[in-house]
A and B are shown apart, each in its own frame.
Chain A
């Protein structure tokens, strides 16, 4: 990292003056934590007692045989508490909040996994909690909304703009500038103003640290390639970080191809040619924007990847050629999800399924002596409504109709 939180040409802290002082304090506290080995140990202990760290690395033998190329390993972030890698960052920031003495946390959420994790952390640490979620995502991810509210969080549907993740981020910032003294904004991904990209990558790096040890144990050497889906980029940075110095390990980020890059309905920032450099939401990166600098609408079947920007750290690694970027369409994602369930009895989230798509395309090019790792960032059962809808599943539809009828008769 270069001065002032820049990674090459990307990053920075483009924040309103009212937040300047609180960022000074946050930077100071984060620096103290980073330099304190006891803090990292406290974090690892918390994650191994409250969550399921280390998460397993599963050898997907059936899928490996099916494709007849590389040995496919799956890093099981779905087995974290709340069902996704999001808990890693949130519990880490929770420890930071305790040290800073703040009493309230706020967060944005797209797929709902970050909101869920934040609501969980707030309940455990006794903090007040407000979650901002685009109205469109509230509709897509109703079960997560239910659980957040049950854990005592207030969920605010955001009706501005495109009503998705970026709008939830804007609204969370508006709350923060108003209630800055008592409130910490638990930023959910490796984006936003410095120090968030660095901080979230640091907490998430636990994924790659474990995966490196596990693959050496099971496979005896480093993997040939690692695949991770990229929305903001936190699960990707989490697994990539440890492997960046390993020059023989190819790192592949998979973005949301939506209906296909050519249709314009996608969220491909680094894998397509539609994005350009910009500054928004507190940081400089590649944004999907028009010629005037207005952000565009994005599309993905996976709410967690439906975002206009991308981590400044990943923009830097892309520019330097260290991470290769690809995209997967909604249709390809459903096929990969289906195959993974049938072959391995594992249900990846729609977001994570993007990484599976690209891994399946490339596994046959490699030999059985090679290993690849897919970072399964979260579990798919949270997406039951979306997935059942996309599969057009008749028995599920019948169930919903019957249940709806029961509820309407109760009125």
Chain B
């Protein structure tokens, strides 16, 4: 089943979905495994797994550090692919890859998609690949039925959003504000107006990330978006309190 349909099926039973983010190999694949188990058991609907890159240009300090540490631990792209295959076989939710374009480019775009398909990956988020530069990427994504997740930003004009929407599949990732990942923002007038613009530009489900830390943050999005994204917060949590803290945190969000 394709990603969008999987999410829509889940939306039949829930008023908002949760997507979480992990950096592969940080602090270790062993901890990744335990964190993912806790996330899935506590109702996470979708997980983006970041293949670490040495130059994570669009990420904030928490994820930058996690990328660096993962690489220092010797994390290889091949390890990430093997781990992904294990996760998709163990858990019945959609898994995505998030990474920067060079990882895919260097691996070989076609081989990467072949391998990702084999691993049971449902979608791919590449923050430094605008559709203008992603012609072959988008073709291969269609061929291998892996959803290319496109990104809306508050600086995107209505016309630009409509262009992006024609290339996106699965869902649209709406960045709630200017800036890098991991900074908390408040759902105010401005964000609501922006989400309204996003809604008008596409019929795809909308995912929103803005530094979600508690149940109220998630509730504020009901009716405005389809999926709340928890990014840096669980990484911080694992750093501070260990993998065991993730389950209760996720359970408390909905």
Which residues of A pack against B, CB within 8 Å?
Answer: 4, 12-22, 160-161, 166, 170, 173-174, 177-181, 276-282, 287, 289, 291-295
Contact = CB atoms under 8 A, between A and B. Distances in A.
Given A161-B68, A173-B57, A177-B179, A279 B102 contact: yes
20 contacts: A4-B133, A14-B129, A15-B128, A16-B128, A17-B127, A17-B150, A17-B153, A17-B156, A21-B157, A160-B68, A161-B55, A166-B55, A177-B58, A177-B178, A180-B155, A277-B105, A279-B101, A292-B76, A293-B53, A293-B102
Contacts of B157: 21
Contacts of B129: 14
- Nearest 7 interchain pairs by C-beta: A293-B106, A178-B179, A18-B153, A294-B54, A293-B102, A17-B151, A295-B54
A170 B55 contact: yes
Contacts of A289: 102, 106
Contacts of A161: 54-55, 68
Given A178-B179, A293-B53, A294-B71, A22 B128 contact: no
Given A177-B178, A292-B107, 5 more contacts: A13-B133, A173-B57, A177-B180, A289-B102, A293-B106
Contact of B103 (A19, A166, A287, A292): A292
A293 B155 contact: no
Interface of B: 53-60, 64-65, 68, 71, 76-77, 100-103, 105-107, 127-130, 132-133, 150-157, 160, 164, 175, 178-180
Contacts of B155: 17-22, 180
Contacts of B57: 16, 170, 173-174, 280-282
B51 to A, nearest CB: 9
Given A4-B133, A174-B57, A294-B54, A20 B153 contact: yes
A15 B58 CA distance: 9
Contacts of A287: 102
A65 B64 CA distance: 54
Residue with the highest number of chain A CB atoms closer than 10 Å, among B68, B106, B180: B106
Nearest to B151: A17
Contacts of A166: 55
Contact of B55 (A17, A21, A280): A280
B2 to A, nearest CB: 23
Contacts of A21: 155-157, 160
A178 B103 contact: no
B132 A13 contact: yes
Given A177-B178, A292-B76, A294-B54, A15 B105 contact: no
A84 B152 CA distance: 41
Contacts of B160: 20-21
Contacts of B59: 174
Q: Which of the listed residues A4, A160, A181, A292 has the most CB atoms from chain B within 10 Å of its own CB?
A: A292
Given A20-B130, A160-B64, A280 B102 contact: yes
B105 A293 contact: yes
A262 B129 CA distance: 34
Contacts of B100: 280
B171 to A, nearest CB: 15
B89 to A, nearest CB: 24
Contacts of B71: 294
Contacts of A19: 155
A177 B153 CA distance: 10
B101 A18 contact: no
B13 to A, nearest CB: 31
A174 B182 CA distance: 12
B133 A14 contact: yes
A62 B3 CA distance: 72
A207 B253 CA distance: 60
A292 B77 contact: yes
A17 B102 contact: no
A191 to B, nearest CB: 13
Contacts of A181: 178
Given A161-B55, A279-B105, A14 B68 contact: no
A294 B71 CA distance: 9
A173 B64 CA distance: 13
A2 B201 CA distance: 31
Contacts of B127: 16-17
A359 B44 CA distance: 63
Contacts of B60: 174
Contact of A281 (B55, B64, B164, B180): B55
Nearest to B78: A292
Nearest to B132: A4
B73 to A, nearest CB: 13
Contacts of A292: 76-77, 103, 106-107
B133 to A, nearest CB: 5
Contacts of A22: 155
A177 B178 CA distance: 6
